[in-house]
Amino acid sequence: MSVRVDGAIIHVEGSSPVEDAEPILTALQEDSQRCVDLSQAGRLHSASVQVLLALRPKIVGLPADPFQARFIFSS
């Protein structure tokens, strides 16, 4: 699994398979003030992207995937 919760930060590291969507969702439901660090992420599965777009946490860093970095997570 490439999701790690460290206090107020959810770290997504490496490629993020579909199984990562649920721990991201759970961590954000437990504390909606948590931010998500994507600076070490590769390509995120669309399920994880949908969770992040729906819950709109603060995003720190951009994933390595150029499409996701430019068109989904850039502000």
pLDDT at 13: 96
**Nearest partner of 46 among 74, 67, 75, judged by Cα:** 67
Query: Mean pLDDT over residues 5-29, rounded?
Result: 97
**67/10 Cα distance (integer angstroms):** 21
Mean pLDDT score across all residues of the chain? 96
- Count CA atoms closer than 13 A to 25's CA, side-chain side: 11
Q: Residue 41 and residue 39: Cα distance in Å, rounded?
A: 6
| Token code pair at residue 7 | 């206090």
Q: What is the pLDDT of residues 62-72, one digit of tens each?
A: 999 999 999 99
**Top-tier CATH class for 3-72:** alpha beta
Q: Where are the domains of the chain?
A: 3-72
> What local confidence, expressed as pLDDT, does residue 74 receive?
87
- Global pTM reads 0.93
pLDDT of residue 1: 65
